[in-house]
């Protein structure tokens, strides 16, 4: 009977190396900045989407930061970050769902 070497056995629980994750995040940021810099200065909005992710490099306001994490008017679980790339969790929606649970 053959034994399985844990070091070579395939597994679904492998983590990505931290450096790989940071490199991917840096590449997405670089792509968003490059997208903006390719436009004439008067057409740059510093907000949009790149590789399917929303980005917003405008100065965040307190209102935008609060809305990222608490937007009771939205049914979305995930809301675009107030600054940067990606999504935050709409805790107002999470609270509604937890309140509905028996």
The full set of domain ranges for the chain reads: 18-100
pLDDT in tens, 19-49: 998 999 999 999 999 999 999 999 999 999 9
Measure the CA angle with vertex 92, ends 88 and 25; round to 5°: 5
pLDDT of 1 strictly over 60: no
Q: How far apart are CA 80 and CA 60, in angstroms?
A: 12
User: Tokens standing for 73?
Assistant: 């008017």
Q: Is the alpha carbon torsion for 37, 42, 46, 49 positive or negative? A: negative
Which residues, other chains included, contact 50 with Cβ-Cβ below 8 Å and sequence gap of 6+? 28, 31, 32, 35, 85
pLDDT of residue 102: 67
pLDDT in tens, 54-89: 999 999 999 999 999 999 999 999 999 999 999 999
pLDDT of residue 18: 87
Higher pLDDT pick, 18 / 26: 26
DSSP characters over 55-97: EE-SPP-HHHHHHHH--TT---SEEE-SSEESEEE-HHHHHHH
Higher pLDDT pick, 96 / 16: 96
SS3 sequence of 27-42: HHHHHHHHHHHCCCHH
């Amino acid at each position: 009977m053959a034994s399985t070497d844990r070091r070579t056995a395939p597994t679904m629980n492998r983590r990505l190396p931290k450096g790989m994750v940071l490199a991917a995040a840096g590449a997405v940021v670089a792509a968003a900045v490059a997208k903006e810099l390719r436009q004439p200065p008067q057409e740059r909005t510093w907000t949009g989407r790149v590789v399917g992710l929303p980005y917003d490099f405008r100065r965040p306001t307190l209102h935008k930061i609060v809305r990222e994490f608490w937007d009771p008017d939205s049914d979305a679980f995930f809301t675009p970050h107030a600054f940067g790339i990606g999504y935050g969790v709409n805790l107002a929606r999470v609270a509604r769902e937890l309140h509905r649970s028996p």
